[in-house]
Chain A
Amino acid sequence: MQKVVLLALSASLAACATAQAKPEGASPSTKAWTAPKGVDERAPFASTYEPYPGLPTALVGATVYDGAGGRIDNGTVLFRDGEVVAVGDGSLSTEGYRRIEAAGKFVTPGIIDIHSHLGNYPSPAVDAHSDGNEATSPATPEVWTEHSVWPQDPGFSRALANGGVTSLQILPGSANLMGGRSATLKNVPSRTVQGMKFPGAPYGFKMACGENPKRVYGNRNRMPATRMGNFALNRQTWLDARAYDGKKRDLAKETLKGVLEGQILVHNHCYRADEMAFVIDMAKEMGYRVSTFHHAVESYKIGDLLRENGICSAVWAEWYGGKMEQYDSIPENAALIHNAGACTVIHSDDEMGIQRLNQEAAKAQGAGRRMGIDIPDAEVISWITLNPAKAMGIDAMTGSLAPGKMADVVLWNGDPLSVYSRPEKVWIDGALMYDMHDPTLRPVSDFELGHPGEGDVK
């Protein structure tokens, strides 16, 4: 309860990035700008993740949702050497593959959470672990949340085993208008954060609208104390960043420049429709694009605007009641956004919710159906697979079961949109990282060793 309150009040503002990494003709600079490298000519804190070994595997006879809206009954999924080889019907040859008979079961791409605080608000949720908000200044573009992520957070393993989550974006909290860079991770246990970093994933940049920044700083009698203060401070910060010439390294301006050049994707925590509309205009004024509005409980009021601007909405199924700016949250939000032709993503922002993104998607689907918006199961699965991959700029690598993509795959013991189903096996880059039937394939974080319940089913 305490943790929920903490996140609700100080960390729940997130922003979404657009599906496209590159801005469309809005760049203020005429020449390409490249983020500075270290003296070793490498990007700092580079990913060291390497896929673990896996067997060539054929999943045979399952209902396959490919993540891109496609459905194959009695399908076959082949993967080897970390990549998807083929997805088809029963006629695909499985010669050379270990066959897993999966009749009556379901296959989806690995689930992706676009909004998580695993690692930067880990369990146990003690003050010493509260590393998600650099709430000492309303604009801290210079911080990178990867430096706050604790890879021993037990929450990663729960997201894997119960939620089938294979990739996730860790965002700074929402105390600040500009909270810093996000970290996109593979959900693999690792001694270091670099060992989890998703190779080739662009950085995200967390921004926040509304109540949180103005409350946090207004309470200290400093700007911003109002929504108009939020925007003034944002705009001035962008103007200063546009004038940055790069001659003297400045971590904050390097990040902002990366956004202006389209290399870093904006994830903007924003609940209210009117504020999202202002953010869209501010982005046009300053020359950047918003990838995704996070939380976005009022996106259903501006589905047209979001479609026209190519902005995703990352939403809960129906949570409400926590804050004033959440008052108009409705369960039909996701379905209405989808119905308007805009991009829908289901997110968690929660260490429990990340274990049930499939269930939240099903709830949102049901609410839509009851108002006459019938969205096929295969499209609903894209809300937690390909759509978040697009919004995070990793859709060329994962998010759907297409030949050549990473073999991030979940075998479910039943329909993933049913409350009665759970992941049976989860592969990340073709390596079997969780198996419901094999207790040795259930990761246990350092923190849990020697404590009661170590290695329990959880």
Chain B
Amino acid sequence: MKCAILLAAASLVLCAQPALAQDFTITNATVAAGDGSEPVAGATVVVRNGRIASVGREIDPVRSGEIIDGTGMWVTPGIFASITTLGIVDVEAVSDSDDRGAGGSPFSAALDVSPVINPASQGIAVARTGGVTRASVMPIASASIFGGQGAIVDLGADFNAVTRPRAFQVVEMGERGGRLAGGSRTSAHALLRNALREAARYGDDARLTGNTRTGPTRTGDDVPLDPRMTGRAERDSDVLLSRFDAAALVPVVNGQQKLYVKVERAIDILSAIALREDFPKLDMVLVGATEGWMVAERIAAAGVPVITVALRDLPVSFEQMAATQSNVGRMVDAGVTVAIGGYDSRGDLPHGLPQQAGNMVAISRVPGATGLTWGEAFATITSVPARIAGLADTGVLEGGARGDLVLWDGDPLELDSAPVKVWIDGVEQPLGNHRTRLRDRYRDLDESDLPKGYDR
């Protein structure tokens, strides 16, 4: 309760324990549920015990809890920002503050971001102020094609950021993967296959010694495939992974932990999907997939979801030759599950995801382009990424869902809209940060009494 009071006072201090969720009702707002449906005007949202109790136009006002008049405002689920570096870097060019990658580490797949995510970082505070309530935090592969294990976090102002530790493993299989693997995509594929079969064997024998076993092999043509390429690790000298890294890949090869595969080029996408022929339990998510539209039907048939940046439209590399802003829309039309996430342009920040989604609506009016409806676009930054992250009850306003909500001063996809209030698990969040404090200090330049250094 003390914490709730602190939060109400817009303190920037984090609470050691999460504050208690408050019951409240927002009335007469435009509600966008995040499930792909179009916004509904004049609706009511009831939140109880940190969860959505009910949503709709015919809801009786609840007697208990605060009543918030939402007239002229919008209520939505919080933004789910995929593929972020929230909480693992303060300033990208200040290496001491940067835990995104570990190029000098002896470990790769075993790296785990969950214990180092800093909930007090400005990145998290700024994203929260912009309406982001949950995110995936992804390490950057640096010492190997494996980046390590990412986490799902909430952006609440407390020290319990991690919603799902070790939610996914990261592997680079495109241009960058080729460089990390020693100079070629061929090496990336060999490394990945070797690592996965070592991990598959690891469950049987922690020392990773091999036993020769020949079995049936399946090949695409008349060139025989040695069974050791697909079967078990064969020799002690085969072992390229530390035992820690191999252990980290066991849940990947068993399909218990998602594998986020970074690929851009159409054929790299297909080759990634084809890994399941040899490792059938892999639970993959394609990250990047700039050329996904070219093979969208095959991605859809494979049932593999995609997380992609929405606005890439330049051949910035030879693996993105077919980049177009219609990538998302064309994949969605083909039946692919697509979340918009990541950012790679100046000015892009996690709380800029609504701008990316809004542009998908914009191009639906450009002849020849394929965009999204408003409801589809909003789902790509709320319910869809939450579902990909394994949080089925998040990113959507419906009875029983998590109480992650944002009250906006206008259409959340519009450029000049901003959150008025943000709740995570039903707890109202502070919306101050370093930037808002600077704004307040420099509202004027008056130093007639004292220097700005005293102005707080």
The answer to whether B361 and A420 touch across the interface, beta carbons within 8 angstroms, is: yes
What is the predominant secondary structure among interface residues of chain A facing chain B? loop
Query: Contact string, B182-206, partner A, CB cutoff 8 A, digits 1/0?
Result: 0000000000000000000000000
Give Cα A321–Cα B434 distance, bound, in whole angstroms.
12
A452 within 8 A of B: yes
A232 within 8 A of B: no
Query: Contact string, A26-51, partner B, CB cutoff 8 A, digits 1/0?
Result: 00000000000000000000000000
Give Cα A453–Cα B362 distance, bound, in whole angstroms.
20
The answer to whether B314 and A436 touch across the interface, beta carbons within 8 angstroms, is: no
What is the predominant secondary structure among interface residues of chain B facing chain A? loop
Given contacts A158-B313, A324-B91, contact A420 B365 (CB under 8 A): yes
Report which of A158, A300, A327, A363 forms a contact with B442, defined as CB distance below 8 A.
A300
B443 within 8 A of A: yes
Report which of A126, A329, A356, A439 forms a contact with B435, defined as CB distance below 8 A.
A329
Given contacts A124-B317, A319-B349, A349-B346, contact A420 B369 (CB under 8 A): no
Given contacts A362-B416, A371-B439, contact A456 B326 (CB under 8 A): yes
Report which of B324, B345, B414 forms a contact with A457, defined as CB distance below 8 A.
B324
The answer to whether B326 and A124 touch across the interface, beta carbons within 8 angstroms, is: no
B417 within 8 A of A: yes
B274 within 8 A of A: no
The answer to whether B359 and A322 touch across the interface, beta carbons within 8 angstroms, is: no
Query: Contact string, A256-293, partner B, CB cutoff 8 A, digits 1/0?
Result: 00000000000000000000000000000000000000
Report which of B92, B291, B313, B314 forms a contact with A321, defined as CB distance below 8 A.
B92
The answer to whether A419 and B313 touch across the interface, beta carbons within 8 angstroms, is: no
Distance in angstroms from A192 CB to nearest chain B CB is: 22
Given contacts A330-B439, A437-B367, contact A353 B345 (CB under 8 A): yes
A370 within 8 A of B: yes
Give Cα A420–Cα B308 distance, bound, in whole angstroms.
20
Instruction: Write the chain A residue with the least CB distance to B356.
Output: A419
The answer to whether A366 and B324 touch across the interface, beta carbons within 8 angstroms, is: no
A369 within 8 A of B: yes
Which chain B positions have C-beta within 8 A of A340? 445
Distance in angstroms from B167 CB to nearest chain A CB is: 21
Query: Contact string, B309-335, partner A, CB cutoff 8 A, digits 1/0?
Result: 001111111100111111000000000
The answer to whether B323 and A453 touch across the interface, beta carbons within 8 angstroms, is: yes
Report how many residues on chain A are interfacial, defined by Cβ distance under 8 Å.
76
Report which of A300, A319, A362 forms a contact with B346, defined as CB distance below 8 A.
A319
Instruction: Write the chain B residue with the least CB distance to A413.
Output: B365
Which chain B positions have C-beta within 8 A of A367? 418
Give Cα A330–Cα B326 distance, bound, in whole angstroms.
32
Given contacts A124-B316, A422-B366, contact A1 B344 (CB under 8 A): yes
Report which of A328, A366, A420 forms a contact with B417, defined as CB distance below 8 A.
A366
Tell me which of A2-10, A15-23, A171-179, A398-406 binds B: A2-10
Report which of A300, A336, A360, A422 forms a contact with B362, defined as CB distance below 8 A.
A422
B224 within 8 A of A: no
The answer to whether B316 and A123 touch across the interface, beta carbons within 8 angstroms, is: yes
B430 within 8 A of A: no
Report which of B91, B316, B409, B443 forms a contact with A125, defined as CB distance below 8 A.
B316
Give Cα A155–Cα B369 distance, bound, in whole angstroms.
18
The answer to whether B93 and A211 touch across the interface, beta carbons within 8 angstroms, is: yes
Which chain B positions have C-beta within 8 A of A352? 311-314, 344-346, 348
Give Cα A301–Cα B446 distance, bound, in whole angstroms.
11
Which chain B positions have C-beta within 8 A of A324? 91, 93-94
The answer to whether B416 and A366 touch across the interface, beta carbons within 8 angstroms, is: yes
Which chain B positions have C-beta within 8 A of A447? 315
A247 within 8 A of B: no
Give Cα A127–Cα B363 distance, bound, in whole angstroms.
32
The answer to whether A365 and B345 touch across the interface, beta carbons within 8 angstroms, is: no
Query: Contact string, A123-159, partner B, CB cutoff 8 A, digits 1/0?
Result: 1111000000000000000000000000000110010
Within A306-349, the residues touching B (CB, 8 Å) are 316-324, 326-332, 336, 340, 348-349
The answer to whether A351 and B316 touch across the interface, beta carbons within 8 angstroms, is: yes
Query: Contact string, B397-440, partner A, CB cutoff 8 A, digits 1/0?
Result: 00000000000010001111110000000000000001100110
Instruction: Write the chain A residue with the least CB distance to B357.
Output: A419
Give Cα A99–Cα B148 distance, bound, in whole angstroms.
60
Given contacts A158-B313, A303-B445, A324-B94, contact A418 B415 (CB under 8 A): yes
Which chain A positions have C-beta within 8 A of B348? 319, 352
A304 within 8 A of B: yes
A194 within 8 A of B: no
Instruction: Write the chain B residue with the least CB distance to A125.
Output: B316
Instruction: Write the chain B residue with the least CB distance to A330.
Output: B435
Give Cα A365–Cα B348 distance, bound, in whole angstroms.
17
Distance in angstroms from A311 CB to nearest chain B CB is: 16
Give Cα A308–Cα B150 distance, bound, in whole angstroms.
50
A162 within 8 A of B: yes
Within A382-423, the residues touching B (CB, 8 Å) are 413, 417-422
Instruction: Write the chain B residue with the least CB distance to A331.
Output: B435
A448 within 8 A of B: yes
A237 within 8 A of B: no
Give Cα A422–Cα B367 distance, bound, in whole angstroms.
11
Given contacts A8-B92, A323-B93, A371-B439, contact A350 B345 (CB under 8 A): yes
Which chain A positions have C-beta within 8 A of B349? 318-321
Report which of A422, A451, A453 forms a contact with B365, defined as CB distance below 8 A.
A422
Give Cα A457–Cα B452 distance, bound, in whole angstroms.
50
Query: Contact string, B290-315, partner A, CB cutoff 8 A, digits 1/0?
Result: 01001000000000000000011111
A220 within 8 A of B: no
Report which of A3, A331, A439, A458 forms a contact with B325, defined as CB distance below 8 A.
A458
The answer to whether B435 and A316 touch across the interface, beta carbons within 8 angstroms, is: no
Rank and list the top 7 A-B pairs by shortest CB-CB distance, nearest first: A366-B416, A419-B358, A352-B345, A350-B346, A453-B322, A362-B415, A452-B322
Enumerate chain B interface residues (CB-CB to A < 8 A).
89, 91-94, 123, 176, 266, 291, 294, 311-318, 321-326, 344-349, 355, 358-359, 361-363, 365-369, 409, 413-418, 434-435, 438-439, 442-443, 445, 452
List 20 contacting pairs A-B, 8 Å CB cutoff, sorted by A. Answer: A4-B344, A9-B93, A123-B314, A124-B316, A301-B442, A301-B445, A304-B445, A317-B347, A327-B91, A352-B313, A353-B347, A359-B355, A362-B416, A413-B365, A421-B362, A452-B291, A453-B324, A457-B325, A457-B368, A458-B323
